[in-house]
Amino acid sequence: MKVLVACEESQVVCKAFRERGHEAYSCDTQECSGGHPEWHIKDDVLKHLDDGWDLMIAHPPCTYLSRAGARWLYKGGVINNSRYVLGVKAKDFFMRLYEANIKMIAIENPTPFKVFDLPKPSQAINPHDFGHEYSKRTLLWLKNLPPLLNTLIYPNHKPYMPSNTGGKKRGQKYHFTTINSHDASRTFQGIAEAFATQWG
């Protein structure tokens, strides 16, 4: 199967599919960090949506869409117009992936602002349902794919990183006190393997 992993430079998902015999390629405007440049398309993914893919798994940028950015979108209860415009552009990119002419599509993103009116997601997943000790809720928008099934539930999980939606909860411990966007956006290995095993 020919698989496009959109907006991925880490190649975690790409390699999970390659290990199972699929012709998978990551695509991002950055150089890949996964060690296989021969499996990486360094370009705008929108230029490659019609290249004959059977499946696309996409991780579009969530900076301006995610509800975690509430403190930047709303200032004193009033919407920040410049931030809103960036969110509209991010939604347009999301929708171009969502409406791509590819038979099977999965898009992964955090909970978005309602103001951007994205389509209803198909399901919510967490790393602790796929063998990791962390919680980091993310949503999946699926086309012609079954919901992802839990593989290994980790009962005593903790937040992967602090939330920007509110204050730190008393007594709550995090995996990271600070984390860069590169690490925050990397797909957990257990989830990548579930993608490849269940949809490959």
Residue 120: the pLDDT is 97
Residues in the chain: 200
Task: Provide the β-strand partners of residue 3.
Answer: 24, 55
Q: Can you give the pLDDT at residue 166?
A: 45
Q: Give 101's contacts (C-beta < 8 A, 6+ positions apart).
A: 49, 50
Distance CA 140, CA 125 (A): 8
- The answer to whether the beta carbons of residues 11 and 27 sit under 8 Å apart is no
Do the Cβ atoms of 51 and 80 come closer than 8 Å?
Answer: no
CB 13 within 8 A of CB 195: yes
Domains of the chain: 2-125+138-149+185-199 (3.40.50)
Can you give the pLDDT of all 200 residues of the chain as single tens digits?
A: 999 999 999 999 999 999 999 999 999 999 999 999 999 999 999 999 999 999 999 999 999 898 876 667 777 778 888 889 999 999 999 999 999 999 999 999 999 989 899 999 999 999 999 999 998 999 999 999 999 999 998 887 777 655 544 444 433 454 444 455 566 678 999 999 999 999 99
pLDDT of 50 reads 98
Interatomic CA distance for residues 24 and 86, integer angstroms: 30
